[in-house]
Every structure is written in C-alpha cells, then in structure tokens.
Structure 1
Amino acid sequence: MSSREACGIVGINVRTGKRWRNGRNPTGSEAGASPIISAALSVVRGRFLNEDERVVIADRRRTGATLQQIAAELGRDRSTISRELRRNAHHISGDYRPHAAQRLAEARRPRPKTGKIAANPALRQVIQDGLDLRWSPEQIVRRLRRDFPDRPEMHVVHETIYQTLYLQGRGELRRELAQALRTGRAIRRPRRQVQQRLPRMATPMVMISERPAEADDRAVPGHWEGDLIIGKDGKSAIGTLVERATRYVMLVHLPNGRTSDVVRDALIDTMSGLPTHLARSLTWDQGSEMHRHHEFSLATDIPVYFCDPHSPWQRGSNENTNGLLRQYFPKGTNLAVHNREHLDAVAVQLNGRPRKTLGWDTPAERLTKLLTEAS
C-alpha cells in the first residue's frame, strides 16, 4: 500500500511515517534517528519470503527437491526461490541456513540505502565519462560488463543510471549530465496507468476485426483508409483518403487545424458526394482527431473502423500514399499554406500515376471504370 494509506491505518501523520521509515538527520535541537525496523518482518507474506518459508526451503533442499517443486509448494515463482538461494546462502560453504538467511534479508531491507554508484567512485567516474561522450545508459552498462568482466562491483543495469539522474537529492552524478541523454529531459516523464487514461473517443470504437470481410480482399470497392499527414510543430495537417480497391486518393483540406470537430466537418464535406456503392466504410487509426467519429457516421451513413494500436500495416495503402505525398508536402513544412486547388491538383497527379498493383492502370482509370459499370 502507499505511504499515506499505511500512515492512515496506524493513525500518524504522513511526515511522521516518513521519519519512521527513513530516519532523520540530526539538527541543532534534535538528535538524529535511524530507520525503525518492524519487529514483524518475518511474518510479511506477499512480496517477501518470511522465516517459515525459508525453513521449508532449507528442509526441501536437504531432501533433494528441485526449485520448481519448492516453488509450487510455497506458491512462489521459481525465480524467487533461485534468487533467495543465490543471495542468502552462506558465502563460503554455500549451505542454506534459514534463520541466518532471514537475518540477512531483514538487514538488507531497510531504506534508504547508499546507491551502488555513490558507493563506488571508480564506477561513478566511468559512467560520468560515458555520459560526457553522449553514450546512452545502455551503451555504458554493456561496455562496463565487457571491460570489467570479473569485477561485479563495476556492473549495473541501465535503470540504475536513469534513477541516479532523475531522482532528486541523490548527488551521485552531476545533474547537468541528464542533458546528455537523447531525450534531453532531467526528470522522468510520468505515465498514466491504463485504468487512469482518458478515453480518446466520445463513443466506443468499432475495431477493424469487425470490418466486413469484403473489405479485406479488396474485391468490393467503397472501403476507404484515412489518416492525417502533419506539418511543422504539429500545427497544420492535411487529411488523406485512399480507396482500397482502386487506390484512388482524395485530400482533405484542413486550413483551420486538426481538432475533432474540424476533421469531422471536413470529412463529411469530402465524402458526402460519393455514390453509395463507393462509400461503404472508413478505416482510421486511433488518433484523437476522430473523437467525433459517430457524428461523421450519422451524417454520411459510413461506418468507421479503428485499427489496433501501433499497427500501421492495417492501413497499408494509406501509409504508402502518405509516403508518396511527402514528395509534395515535405516534413517540417507548414501545410496550412496549401489551398484547396493545390490539394486537388496533387490528387489528380497521384490518381494519374500508373500503379504496378493495378496492372499499370491508374487509380483514375479504375475508378472511371467502376462508375461506368454502375451507371
């Protein structure tokens, strides 16, 4: 549980709980104090092994039981048992003595501890030198293991370096070294838990797995893929629509930004003129610009299907087209300067380009053929 919850149960102030847990430094009027170690550590069950479990481990090891068998009896993971034997067995004989192991674990548990980097000046210097050369923490720790294979005191994991740089008050590495990281951040960016994230869409999404099978094999026209290409600093955008069967492209003019209401209105304006047999569905990624997708569907009678996260191949035609469009709209440029006439001219060029996947027909020729057959 959190520190605040634990202090509430005990009935003490949160600051008092912090002093109990971490100890305190001496001041002019008050003596210092060491962290308080609970007398009930041996009965902790859950994250830590307790003394009774260590007795079982010792007994079963003497009978020749495997780590997997011991773990199953205790309801623990096999790695927990393996780690316990590696850490707390006698350092000379290798024998596992449960009561001695319990004392070692209890002595190791109190916080705060002196960090490994702070306790080893040589290690600290090597890490500082690596960061000065703009090496990433992972590159540093890999080289440490290669250059000092027989010196475990020089081995750390890259998370240890990140923690040292990000946590306030450590003083183990110079604060300015954080700027040598590729992100340039001196603090860690907090991430929301899945259950805390706000929904991107006003109404539930219909996923691509529920899209009609006729859209998958591209045999039936009228199924579209859509996305935005983004301009400089994320402040401008152009909407792109690609028909899956013919690869026909339509560009959506977004001179007033890419908020959900602007994108909704622009898509309605662009797609409402399509014949019914060429407006069967629209597939989009989970971008927040489609927050009002249900309103688009009500206005056009075109259902919207959403791709799975981090799955751009589910809109392969659209991704390919976006790459072609970067010839006309380079990255890092302001896309708001292009008017509707220019977007239409670019679309005409793309739709007049022979495509290998169409047997060297153009998308415009394929679409004209479909319209002719329908009429």
Structure 2
Amino acid sequence: MGHYSHLSIEEREDIMVWWKNHESISQIARKLGRNKSSISREIKRNGWTIIGVAHLCYRASTAQRKTDVRRQACKKRTLLDDPNLRARIVFLICSRHFSPEQIAGRLHLELSYAPVSCSTIYRAIHSGKLDCELPGVQSVRRRLRHRGKRRHTKHLIERRGKIRITHELIERPKEVADRQRIGDWEGDTVIGKAKGPRLVTQVDRMSGYLVGGKAASGSSADVNVAIQQALRGEVVKTITLDRGSEFARAAELQEAIGVSIYFCLPHHPWQRGTNENTNGLIREYFPKGTDLSSISDREIEAVYNELNLRPRKRLGWKCPWEVYHHQTLHLL
C-alpha cells in the first residue's frame, strides 16, 4: 500500500489554474500524478458555489486555510488548551497544596475519566507553561510541596528520658494492623519553639483523618488535656504513641478516655507511620522553630482541615474526611 501525502500549497495553486481553465478532474489528476478521487474531493471540500454559476469556484489560499483549520480542530486537546482546567490545577497546587498525582487521581475519581495525567501536569510545570496563571514572575514549580527535595531523618539519636508505658505494641489487637476499621489512632506532637506550645496530632490509621490542636506546653499534663479535647466525640478504639516524655502520663489518659494505649518500640517511628507522615505534611505549614504561640487555633484548624480534604493515593484518591465520615465530597 502506497504512502499518502497531503496536497501541498504548490499543488493547490496548479489545481486552481487548471480548474479555472476548465480542465477536467481526470486531466488535473494525471498532470499531478494523483488519484482523480483525491482531486475531486479537494475541489468539493474546499471549493464554493456562486449563484448562477454551475462551475465550482476554487482558490488555493482559501483551500489551504480551510485545511489548516480542520487539522487544528482534529488535534488532541491538551492541558494548555483548557484555560479553566489550567487555572484550576494551578489553584489546587498553590492554594490547596495538592500534588500533581493527587490532582490527576482526584479528577479521575470525580469525573470517571482522566482529562489530564500526572506526567502531563509535571511537564507543564517544569516547562513553565502554567506560570502565566500566577501574577508577576512567580513559578508554579516553586509552589510544589517538596520542590523535588526530601528530608532524611535516619540515624537520629533519642535523647529524651524513658517513661513508664501502659501497653507494648505487641499487645495491640491484630486487627489494628489491617487498617480495616475506624477508631485506631496514632498520636504524637509537633514542636515549635523550644519550651513553647506544641501541636497535638491524632491520626486515624484507616482513613488518615487528622484531629488535634495546640497544647499549652510539652508537659504531659497539657498534652493529655489537648488529646482528650481532640478525641472528644470521635470513635476511639485504640491509641498508639511513641515514647516521648510528653506521654509520661499515658496511664491517666488511658483511664480518662477508657481505651488501651500502646507504645511503639524505641527508634521505630514507622510503627506509627500514618502519624509520622502527617506530621511531615504539617511541617510544611509550620516549620521547626515556628512560634506556635503566635498561631491562632483557627489557623491550626484550617491546616488540619486542608490536610483532611487532600486526596490520598492509598484511599483510591478519596480524602481522609470522606473515608472517616463515609460521605462523598466534590473537591474540584
């Protein structure tokens, strides 16, 4: 089977001259070495009629322009062709702190098809083609959460004092590890300035749903108060903590809440990995050394809410709030 090539502008100019001289389609096709059906289709598609004139009119420049328009219309639409989608993606990255993968996954979940892939979004970001959606000379790439960098926290030395624990992790019910139910929480605190207030974080293992708030200090008494306030009204079946001194009064907390509290092994943060990962996300908003006393409860609540509404890959691009509350939201 021979290779078909589109008519060139030079060939269209020849057709225009010969057609104007009333040469037949067969004659024109023979001169150009083309199939006569190609010439017939070209004239019918790109020619036009004039009232009272039986012969179709044909002009090379008009034919070429019509062809170019049709080709452009047939091109596959890309991310950059839809200004609404483009602006929405930039908003989700810059204001909601979604990753490109979370955006692509959530679009597929809500729309039942994937209008844009994760790699397409990354290419548009790194080429600077989304920067036009930001004022001034700002860069969308600089607004990505990690900017391509990751912290490495291996080989940290535990310098905190030892505490009296309530239950070892090995005593925890096996179903907790399966993440098949709501109500198994992992807890920790996020430090701001030394000896200042701390953020209390409690994360549900199944859904990743985050609750918490600000403790007046890192003392075990203040942390206990903040944990009880955070979990009030929530489904609570177990709590898993690390061995930090802020949890020295875990026995009192266990009695107050009425559920068993389990402790990870020393230097095993992955045993409460859901919470550890969430704390890393919180650090993007409140870096180490932040004066948390100057941060209002409303600001902290807004950050926690934003994280609860961020789609997660392991949840099938649902967000923690949806899984925890068994409801569906429209996030886009």
TM-score, reference length from structure 2: 0.49
User: Which structure exhibits the higher relative contact order, with contacts defined as CA atoms closer than 8 Å and separated by 6 or more residues?
Assistant: 2
More strand per residue: 2
